[in-house]
Structure 1
Amino acid sequence: MSIKDDVREFLTSRRAKVTPEQAGLPTFGDKRRVTGLRREEVALLAGVSADYYTRLERGNLAGVSEQVLDSLARALRLDDAERAHLFDLARASTGPVRGSRRAAVSKVRPGVLLILESLSTPAYVRNARTDILAANDLAFALYDGILDRERLPLNLAKFLFLDQRAPEFFLDWENIADDSVAALRAEAGRSPHDKSLTDLVGELATRSDEFRTRWARHNVKYHRTAAKRLHNSLVGDLEVTGEAMELAGDGLVIITYTTEPGSPAAETLRFLSSWATRHADAPPNRAKF
């Protein structure tokens, strides 16, 4: 899709999510033919003319001022991730700038690898394209044959939507899938000219109905923290909290999994850590999808 298409569908989908009641607008009992707000109502709330807003919703964000974008974000009740996405789309509408065609990072610095190995929790490093580039021993044990030292990087989005083991491993697969696509959609707004990212989205949209349906929703989300229920064949089900720590200068993210101190999940993870230490040199299983 073009940037104009992305802008049009994003604004249309956000407008459909806001009711007149939420926006503080009177309805006078009228029968509405649209879901959410009308264009002229968004224009009123944003302080622009209806014709001007219509032009924006048709995908023409090039040259729009930050003041107008801020007013539009307030009118559509955008959250932080959605507001940032709107600004990203506006920047992309002006055309590619120098350095905007850089592909996702594919290497991890030795210092980051040392940090990874020093952590006592399962942890891995991924790039913006959701490629897992490196992981510590406990992450390999937790990911139960899904992660393979000999076959990194592993793309998490591909695993989620193209590997039949994903719903068995991620017990809340629907939520994980929603969040994954929303994070990819946000990254696509930040890096619309990243060919490796557009190739990934194109492949997933072609091969997965589940991905294609979610991509069409135009939802965006920051991937910062989330509770996850995982199934490991050795220790069974356990609930962990994923925390994302950005390495801004590297274009990478460290994901760590923690548990509540003293909880059954903490004991389970401690056992898994002990097992991983004893079997660190065991040959890994191969991930196939």
Structure 2
Amino acid sequence: MDVSKQVREFLMTRRARISPEDAGLPPGDGKRRVEGLRREEVAVLAGVSTEYYAQIERGDIARASEEILHAIASALRFDDVERQHLMDLSRAAGPRTRRPQQPSRIHANVQQLMDAMPGVPASVQNGRLDLLATNALGRALYAEVYDRHTGTGLPNLARYLFLDERSRQTFPDWDAVAEDAVATLQAEAARQPGMKAFVQLIGQLSTTSREFGALWAKHNVSTHQRGTKRVHHPLVGEIALNYEALELPGFAGLQLVTFLPEPGSRAADALRLLGSWSTPEQHAPNADETEAADVATPEPGESAWR
């Protein structure tokens, strides 16, 4: 993937969503050729020259100062995640440096922590939505993802969503779940340049799923740390669970995700029933399912993108 192209398309889609009136500018005369703000209007709002902003939007972002990038982010009304994404893109466009390697296995203590919560579905996932490990109830909750996983490597939520029609039954709110997944992948793309496995994942999804391609082209970014997810399980039916995604200190890019039902709800009863059928042996993928391609240094001639 081309970093300059990602910068250009991200900034173009962001300014397309803001009208001059929204930005406090006069609407101007004549019909606009493009939606939203023009480049010169963004430049005025950011306090830079039109040519300088145009250079940044064309992808020449590595030399821009943080002050300038923050000014552009404010002009385009970025939220915190979009602002951070712009900073990550700037770093990705700069000289390649070795990034912390993202582990493909978890520490035994993390597995013990999950296993110590037998009544709570828990999993560990990385930024490209690989399921690195689960406890027994988490494995039971994601039974469809695991059971329908084929090939080498770890089960991946994005592959399941876009390449398996059963995912639309598993996730009744498929459209929202799919949008969230792609927005998470977009944010991760700039954080971890040089990861071959990411390039392969995005290439596979882009060439196989039109839905993925359409969502990827929007360049929306997000990090979903909490919310509610509806899951339809083949044994207990549909359940609504509140999830929390917690960063694991010392483990670059890994999140511990837990799911909790409302107390006294049907989902709580269903989860207890599901727990009575699960066994501790179900909790984690085999050691040989980890991906050897999960390294931080790009191969010769490879794009500095995951």
Contact 1:239 1:259 in 2 (8 A): yes
- Pairs within 5 Å for 1:254-265: 254-265=256-267
Structure 1: distance between partners of 2:184 and 2:144: 25
Aligned position for 1:46: 46
Alignment correspondent of 2:111 = 113
Shift of 1:280: 5.4
- Residues in 2 aligned to 1:205 and 1:28: alpha-carbon distance in whole angstroms: 38
Task: Look up the SS of the partner of 1:154 in the other structure.
Answer: coil
- Deviation larger for 29-38 or 13-22: 29-38
1:91 alignment partner in structure 2: 91
Deviations 1:230-289 (A, max 9, x none): 10111111111221111131121111111112222222222222332xx5568xxxxxxx
Deviates more, 1:266-275 or 1:66-75: 266-275
Distance 1:103 1:268, change over 3 A: same
> Contact conserved, 2:135 with 2:280, CA < 8 A, in 1?
no
* Mapping for residues 129-144 of structure 1, pairs under 5 Å: 129-144=128-143
Q: Which residue of 2 aligns with 1:147?
A: 146
- Which has the bigger relative contact order, CA under 8 A and spacing at least 6? 2
Letter in 1 for 2:113: I
Cα distance in structure 1, aligned partners of 2:156 and 2:219: 21
Shift, 1:123, TM fit: 0.7
Which residue identity does 1:38 align to in structure 2? Answer: R
Output the amino acid matched with 2:201.
L
TM-score for the superposition, normalised by structure 1: 0.90
The Cα offsets for residues 184-209 of structure 1, whole Å up to 9 and x where unpaired, read as 11111111211111111111112211
Matches within 5 A, 1:191-202: 191-202=192-203
Given that 1:121 and 1:258 are in contact with CA atoms closer than 8 Å, whether structure 2 keeps it comes out as yes
Q: Which residue of 2 aligns with 1:81?
A: 81
Contact 1:235 1:272 in 2 (8 A): yes
| SS at 1:271 equivalent | helix
Counterpart of 2:141, as a letter, is: L
- Relative to structure 1, is the Cα distance of residues 28 and 259 closer, same or farther in structure 2, using a 3 angstrom cutoff? same
For residues 92-111 of structure 1, the C-alpha deviation after alignment (integer angstroms, 9 at most, x for no partner) is 111211x23x6542111000
Quote the Cα distance in structure 1 between the aligned partners of 2:18 and 2:180. 21
Is residue 192–residue 198 contact of structure 1 (8 Å, CA) maintained in 2?
no
- Alpha-carbon separation, structure 2, partners of 1:28 and 1:5: 29
Q: In the alignment, what sits opposite 1:286?
A: none
After TM superposition, the structure 1 = structure 2 runs for residues 245-284 of structure 1, keeping only pairs within 5 Å, are: 245-251=246-252, 252-276=254-278
| Distance (Å, rounded) in 2 between the aligned partners of 1:167 and 1:2 | 31
How do 1:200-239 and structure 2 match up within 5 A?
Answer: 200-239=201-240
Give the CA deviation at 1:147. 2.2
Distance in 1 (alpha carbons) for counterparts of 2:84 and 2:187: 8
Report the Cα distance in structure 2 between the residues aligned to 1:265 and 1:247, rounded to whole angstroms.
27
Cα-Cα RMSD: 2.1
Task: Determine the C-alpha separation between the residues in 2 that align with 1:28 and 1:208.
Answer: 40
Overall identity of the aligned pairs, in %: 47
Q: CA-to-partner distance for each residue in 1:12-68, whole Å, 9 max, x for gaps?
A: 110101111221112156432220101111001000011111111111102111110
Native 8 Å contact 1:104 1:129 kept in 2? no
Alpha-carbon distance in structure 1 between the residues aligned to 2:172 and 2:247: 26
Matched, 1:6 2:6: yes
Query: After the TM superposition, which parts of structure 1 deviate over 6 Å for at least 4 consecutive aligned residues?
Result: 149-152
Aligned residues: 279
1:125 aligned partner: 124
Report the secondary structure of 2:34's partner residue: coil
Query: Are the aligned partners of 1:104 and 1:194 in contact in 2 as well (CA < 8 Å)?
Result: no
Alpha-carbon distance in structure 1 between the residues aligned to 2:153 and 2:71: 44
Residue 22 (1) aligns with residue 26 (2): no
* Cα distance in 1 between the residues matched to 2:8 and 2:175: 26
8 Å Cα contact 1:103/1:196 also seen in 2:
no
Q: Which residue of 1 aligns with 2:67?
A: 67
- Residue 287 (structure 1) aligns with: none
Pick which of 215-224 and 19-28 moved more: 19-28
Residue 81 of structure 1: SS of its match in structure 2? helix
SS in 1 for 2:250: coil
